[in-house]
Amino acid sequence: MQPLLKLSTGAEIPALGLGVWQVPDGPVTEGAVAAALETGYRLIDTAQAYGNESSVGRAIRSSGVPREEIFLTTKFLPSRRDPLAEMEKSLERLDTDYVDLYLVHWPQGGPTVAWPGMEAAQAAGLARAIGVSNFSATELAEVSKSAEITPAANQFQYSPFLDRRALVEACVAAGVVPQGYSPLGTGEHLDDPVVAKIASTTGRTPAQVLIRWSLQRGVSVIPKSATPSRIQENFIALDFELDEDSMTALDALDTSNHTPDAKAPGQKWWS
């Protein structure tokens, strides 16, 4: 059994999932999703911007896993105008009647611009929950202040090296599930000597150590991989715990000063 986090809607989201950012559309994405579902993952995360929703949908249909057992996330591409219309197109590509979570991928044009359309998608039953991605604590509060439906989740880059603790705390205080992407730093963190030492001491891989750290910080995490063996390896992060000394050593790797921001000013590609 996977640990689950409760959304404000009452639904539960698995703490560990598979992300398919930069995974090519076609057999590679289909193979990754198939391997994840066979391994036991029940959270699959895609986006309109990734261009692989159709492959995700095919893999889900072919898996034999009932749709209601899978938590499926996609994201609205903010350069487009209408979140409701784009949700309808996503559902056609995914070949499903609904997604479990629909996120604004980033706050282009301001944090509240897309939100009425997101609310319309949930009201129409196309998305069972809606949320945001790459939103700072301030931007999250701005959405919540004017919303009829408050965000259920906020997805942002998160790892021991980018321990956005103030943002996590703001999410939790607002009843928003924090979810981290790129927990491995797109592979850059795997060779860090502190991570490697803890992996050696615990008999785990560096990837498992980094994923486990996020889980123990109460953050849902979606490591990306297209390699079945690594997808299976990452899932084993559910099967152990890091001790206090290991968590403290990993905490000390932070370079973000526990920022409440989801992105540094120079990293906001939508600005």
pLDDT tens-digit profile, the chain (271 residues): 789 999 999 999 999 999 999 999 999 999 999 999 999 999 999 999 999 999 999 999 999 999 999 999 999 999 999 999 999 999 999 999 999 999 999 999 999 999 999 999 999 999 999 999 999 999 999 999 999 999 999 999 999 999 999 999 999 999 999 999 999 988 789 999 999 999 999 999 999 999 999 999 999 999 999 999 999 999 999 999 999 999 999 999 999 999 999 999 889 999 7
Burial 49-81 (b: 16+ CB within 10 A, else e): bbebbbbbbbbbeebebeeeebbbbbbbbbeee
Cβ contacts of 3-7, under 8 Å, gap ≥ 24: 3/215, 3/238, 5/177, 5/218, 5/220, 6/177, 7/101, 7/129, 7/152, 7/153, 7/177
> Which among 122, 120, 222, 132 is positioned nearest to 181, based on CA atoms?
222
| Degrees to nearest 5, angle at CA 210 with 18 and 43 | 20
The three-state secondary structure class of 221 is strand
pLDDT for res 136: 98
Q: Partners of 44 in the beta sheet? A: 18, 72
Position 187 scores a pLDDT of 78
pTM: 0.96
- What pLDDT shows up at residue 271? 79
Closest CA to 185 of 147, 157, 163, 164: 157
158 is catalytic: no
